[in-house]
Structure 1
Amino acid sequence: MKQQPDIDVVIRYLEDPGHEEHKRSLDEWLQLDAANLDIFLETKALWQGEVLPAPASYNTSLQWQQLDTRLTASNLTPVTNPQPVQASKGKLRSIASRYWWAAAAIVGIITAITLYRQPLYIAQQTAQNTDSLLLPDGTKLYLNAHTSVKYPRHFKGNSREVFVQQGEVFVDVKHMPEKPFSVHLKNVDIEVLGTSFDVKETKKGVNVFVQTGKVKAVYKNGKKSVVLTPGEEAEMLLAGATISTRYHRNNNPIAWKTGQLTFYDTPLSEVTAILEDYYKVRISLKGEGLADKRLIATFHKESLSEVLDILSKTLQVNAVQKDSLVEIY
């Protein structure tokens, strides 16, 4: 009995015709049976030609019925010489068998190619904008600007995994205790069950801030980890396994998502660091004692110029902005 053709051999070659190993594998497969060449040519035409039909729209049953009708009609064709009929039947059976198999393979190839072209993972990337998306399990991802994530088209098994390749993501996890949720970064893994948290990859390392629930952040080398509860933020440096944590009375770490900045008697040195991150500018304090001045204020989606104006009046300082540089004196 002939074996079912290895569709992957054909597809791998069509994906990368210049690959020597793929060429060799295809050649060996073509030598196995003459019908393989027909299958290959049909597949190549489909691959390079028109858009393939989706599996759901391709009527496989109808294709088999039409092929059966043609083959049956061929078998019922009248002949006058009985002896050649036996030989013709034998030959016809051989041809019919070969092309039944070839037709079945081509129908399978159409479905296989369509599925093959659908990647197992979906990649999402932002530029200057923020974005949000809903994962297959109901988990929501909010992407800051210049962020790239990857996640499975379907969550299978008893786990859910998302990969943050760069940038900052706020994750609102759908509570599913039987399927733990994980976020993977280059050097850090984050494990949760049902919670909302922010994860940000920086040049120095990874920052994790928890809004609700509980999160465990682990270095991939397994040497150190930290468990965070609401309001806690951890900074995990790339060099070594250093973890520092702090508690926030507000949600400033996710201001990029909420649009709100809140300061409770906050030193100006800390205020400027938060404003730098939120507005993507550099702020320089010029003068003794400025860093210790304290601010009580709440801002909601105000422009930087509006914030600097309020800050100047509240703290009795001068703030001058030139392009992406701000000087406070």
Structure 2
Amino acid sequence: MKQQPDIDVVIRYLEEPGNEEHKRSLDEWLQLDAANLDIFLETKALWQGDVLPAAASYNISQQWQLLDVQLTAANIPPVTITTQPQPVPAAPAEEKGRIKPIVTRYWWAAAAAAAVVVIAVTLFRQPSYIAQQTAQNTDSLLLPDGTRLYLNAHTSVKYPRRFQGSNREVFVQQGEVFVDVKHMPEKPFSVHLKNVDVEVLGTSFDVKETKQGVKVFVQTGKVKAVYKNGKSVVLTPGEEAEMLLAGTTISTRRHQNNNLIAWKTGHLTFVDAPLSEVAAVLGDYYKVDIVLKGEGLADKKLLATFHKESLSEVLDILSKTLQVKAIQKDSLVEIY
């Protein structure tokens, strides 16, 4: 049996995602060569106009159902190829049944040729970017240069398939990212946010996009945070900078611990920390609002370390240690 052209398998599936035979054919073709996955994703993106997913994170067996829903919901029409009309001799009525498959085959050949040309242009267009997004979960990914990004929940980033030229650039579109940069002095690394650029050579730091602005916290090394208006600040380990969208100044503060990146490490450390600070850190980590009710509560000091404990466990320890009462109601915690 003659094997179908590669692009033919992909296009047949995209036209009829509910067809089990096309689905099996595509699945078998994807298993033949790891490079086939890239071809499929490029073709699907061109077909739908979607952002390409990272190939390494694409699991064929687990994504069939989601892919079917997306393609079906998109109600994508067949590819239309317009050519200059040419006179065609009229065919006898009895031969129409034989002519139709041949015309269809020519259509498929034209569609395959056009798709291959578009894919080739897409693959060689530089730079080519990949978008990565998280929902309720955290995730991590390894960039082409060896730099690792740790993504907090509800975070979206964009990065090139390959770093070319003398710079390495990543774009944080929303959320929070911890960056562990591969040391390459000859090729500076930059993280771009809406109104702030962060420039480094080799270090680890956290950037967080909020409704109010951008926060940058350095764990190791040294970074330079630059406002779009040109103002900048150089940060060293333990320092945090906050740049508000509505303002033009940069405020900095020094932290004695790494609680700002607890979402990544799971570690929370409090050394004689006032309860007002503890409440702010716990509220951010567990995504709740913590309200202190009562005079003198804000100044109570806590000495404790937590590692991935649940909020209820932390509140229980807090209550016993500081002799307070903590009541949780959904996403609200009140401390008396």
Q: TM-score, normalised by structure 1?
A: 0.68
Q: For the structure 1 residues 195 and 251, does the alpha-carbon distance in structure 2 shift closer, same or farther, using more than 3 Å as the test?
A: same
**Could you tell me how far apart the structure 1 residues matched to 2:286 and 2:333 are?**
11
Structure 1 partner of 2:241 = 234
Structure 1 partner of 2:138 = 130
Question: What are the equivalent positions in structure 2 for 1:61-100 lying under 5 Å apart?
Answer: none
Structure 2 partner of 1:45 = 111
Question: What are the equivalent positions in structure 2 for 1:212-223 lying under 5 Å apart?
Answer: 212-222=220-230
Supply the AA of the counterpart residue of 1:207.
K
Supply the AA of the counterpart residue of 2:123.
L
Structure 1 partner of 2:151 = 143
Structure 1 partner of 2:202 = 194
1:262 to partner: Cα distance? 0.3
1:114 to partner: Cα distance? 6.5
**Could you tell me how far apart the structure 2 residues matched to 1:298 and 1:275 are?**
12
The CA RMSD measured in Å over matched residues stands at: 2.8
Structure 2 partner of 1:211 = 219
**Could you tell me how far apart the structure 2 residues matched to 1:200 and 1:249 are?**
19
Supply the AA of the counterpart residue of 2:154.
H
Question: What are the equivalent positions in structure 2 for 1:289-304 lying under 5 Å apart?
Answer: 289-304=296-311
Supply the AA of the counterpart residue of 2:112.
L
Structure 1 partner of 2:329 = 322
| Secondary structure in structure 2 of the residue aligned to 1:199 | strand
| Secondary structure in structure 2 of the residue aligned to 1:167 | strand
Q: For the structure 1 residues 294 and 47, does the alpha-carbon distance in structure 2 shift closer, same or farther, using more than 3 Å as the test?
A: farther
Q: For the structure 1 residues 295 and 155, does the alpha-carbon distance in structure 2 shift closer, same or farther, using more than 3 Å as the test?
A: same
Cα deviations across residues 4-52 of structure 1 (Å, max 9, x unaligned)? Answer: xxxxxxx9xx979xxxxxxxxx99x979xxxxxxxx9777411788xx6
Structure 2 partner of 1:249 = 256
Q: 1:153 aligns with which of 161, 176, 198?
A: 161
**Could you tell me how far apart the structure 1 residues matched to 2:312 and 2:319 are?**
10
Q: For the structure 1 residues 127 and 117, does the alpha-carbon distance in structure 2 shift closer, same or farther, using more than 3 Å as the test?
A: farther
Cα deviations across residues 199-243 of structure 1 (Å, max 9, x unaligned)? Answer: 001111111000000000000121x11100001111111112221
**Could you tell me how far apart the structure 2 residues matched to 1:298 and 1:171 are?**
24
Q: 2:190 aligns with which of 176, 182, 191?
A: 182
**Could you tell me how far apart the structure 2 residues matched to 1:236 and 1:118 are?**
32
Cα deviations across residues 141-197 of structure 1 (Å, max 9, x unaligned)? Answer: 000000000000110000000000000000000000110000000000000000000
**Could you tell me how far apart the structure 2 residues matched to 1:250 and 1:121 are?**
35
Supply the AA of the counterpart residue of 1:46.
A
Please list every run of 5 or more consecutive structure 2 residues that lacks an aligned counterpart in the other structure.
1-42, 49-80, 86-105
**Could you tell me how far apart the structure 2 residues matched to 1:199 and 1:258 are?**
15
Q: For the structure 1 residues 268 and 218, does the alpha-carbon distance in structure 2 shift closer, same or farther, using more than 3 Å as the test?
A: same
Supply the AA of the counterpart residue of 2:139.
D
Q: 1:313 aligns with which of 316, 320, 330?
A: 320
1:132 to partner: Cα distance? 0.2
Supply the AA of the counterpart residue of 1:309.
D
Q: For the structure 1 residues 284 and 115, does the alpha-carbon distance in structure 2 shift closer, same or farther, using more than 3 Å as the test?
A: same
Q: TM-score, normalised by structure 2?
A: 0.66
Structure 1 partner of 2:277 = 270
Q: For the structure 1 residues 112 and 151, does the alpha-carbon distance in structure 2 shift closer, same or farther, using more than 3 Å as the test?
A: same
**Identity, % of aligned positions:** 80
**Could you tell me how far apart the structure 2 residues matched to 1:259 and 1:205 are?**
25
Supply the AA of the counterpart residue of 1:215.
V
1:244 to partner: Cα distance? 1.0
